Each structure stands twice: as structure tokens, then as C-alpha cells.
Structure 1
Amino acid sequence: METEIKFRIATEQDLDRIVEMLADDALGSKRERYEQPLPVSYKKAFQAISTDPNNELIVACNGNEVIGVLQITFTPYITHQGGWRATIEGVRTSSSERGKGIGTELIRWAIERARERGCHLVQLTTDKQREDSLRFYERLGFKASHEGLKMKL
């Protein structure tokens, strides 16, 4: 990468840009509502995340411009001898910045953050329709070791 990307905890001022990135792909455009003003549900979710010590909403920045985002959740488990896991969700890189290594740096940063928090495992999911994303995560060392199931409520 030509410029050094900085990672930081997202602020409420970043929320508009975060939602814009989440909505900027084929799947995201069907489930997100990027409109002005932003729906209140996003602000409520942001408040819940930002006040929970086991959740971090992280943005990647090039200067002052937010160009990537992910959420990392730290969860204690009874399994694995009471170990902690980190779950990565909502990973997006700005469409204008894709293919420049930013996503790789963002995920590597999250893995290191999980180590700092004492996690023994990092997990994530990606929609089966996101074949490029699956290959991306596999290149970073993730293995499709489990079959994940979801139920919409």
C-alpha cells in the first residue's frame, strides 16, 4: 500500500460513512437503508456497540477518510476451558479502495486485537454468495471447518 492506513474505534460521526459502505454491494443494498437522515435503528445499534466493552466497531482511515469497517465482538465461552473468542462481522472496504490490500490489513489488525484480548479463536461468517470473500478469508488462513446455520426472526 502506498499510504499508511490507521485503525481506530468508530465515532458516531463515522456512522453515515459506515452505513454507506455496508449498503454498497449487491447483498448490502438489499438489506441496508442508506438514506438521509439515517434510520434511528443504526444510531441505536451504534450506541449499544459503543457502550459494550466486548464490542468494537473499527474503522480503517486514509487520513481523515473512512475507507473500511468491521465489528469485532469478544465472547466468553464455557467450551474450550472457558476460553474467549472473537467474532468478526460487517467487514467492508470502500468500493473505490478494493484490491489495494486494505481489507487484508483490517483483518490482520482484528486478529492481533483478538490476541491482545486473550482470545483463543477468531471466527467469522460470509454469505455463500460472496465467493470472492470466501477465497479472501481462506488466503488469510481461515478454514471452513464448521457448517454455520442461521434463522431469520
Structure 2
Amino acid sequence: MRNSLRTGAVATLLAGLSLMPTAAHATPGGPGVTAKLLAPTTTVGGKDYTLREITIPPGQGTGWHFHDGTLYGRVVQGTLSHFDASCGSDGVYSKGDFLTEPGGSEHVHIGQNRGTTDVVLQVLYVLPHGAPFSQDASNPGCDFE
């Protein structure tokens, strides 16, 4: 019950924030990956809430990274393959699926598009005020990228 409540709350928040005006564009670290700001950052209780749309072209990935806070995402298009620092898959997410990425340098991960169409994600970043969207990390020794 708790998971469905949380998923419902995240879906509602994503939907509500996506109705806000759009403005800026930014690019995360991975090659060919783009990000578009869907809603301006709102700061509440020392945390920044930002909604972005991330697009990952076929054959591309985000690069290894971590976040200082939690991310909540929804797959709008395509299939995202997600891997953690153990080099193991920690999820494959298709259109309509939700995912959560916990914060902290102990949660290094990479997202890859192993399909033939763009992966499009709507992502709500919940970060400490002023923190970057992500921080680059070294490949933990995985033989793919």
C-alpha cells in the first residue's frame, strides 16, 4: 500500500510540475544525452525540486554518476537499462514505468539506451539546496559503457 501511495504521489507531482512554464535547456554529462527544464526550481525546506526531461539516443548512456539527493523518474518513451556500481542490472524500465534513484556517492549508476528509439524520461530532482543535478563518477570496473 505504501509503495502505491508513494508512486501515486510522485505521479501527481510530476504531472503538476509539468504544467508549469518551460524555459531553459541544459545538458548532462553523457554523450548525446540532452536535458530540458520542464519547471523552474522550487526550494522548500532546504531542498531544491526541479523537473527535467532527459532524452537518451539509441546506443547512448548517461555516463557513470551519482546524485546528492533522490530522483523520481517516469519513462515517457523507450526502454531504460539501469546499472549500479556492482556492474549488475538494477532495473529495466519501459514506457509508463517509474523509477527512484537514491542519493549519495554510494549509489553510483549509469542509465543506457540499448534500444532503437530515444529514451525519454521525466525526472523530478529532490536535491539539497544548490547541489548539482549529478556528479560524475569513474567507471567502477564494468566492461560496458
Q: Normalising TM by the smaller chain, what interval?
A: under 0.3
- The structure carrying a bigger strand percent of its residues is 2
- TM-score normalised per structure 1: 0.27
- TM-score normalised per structure 2: 0.28
Bigger Rg, structure 1 or 2: 1
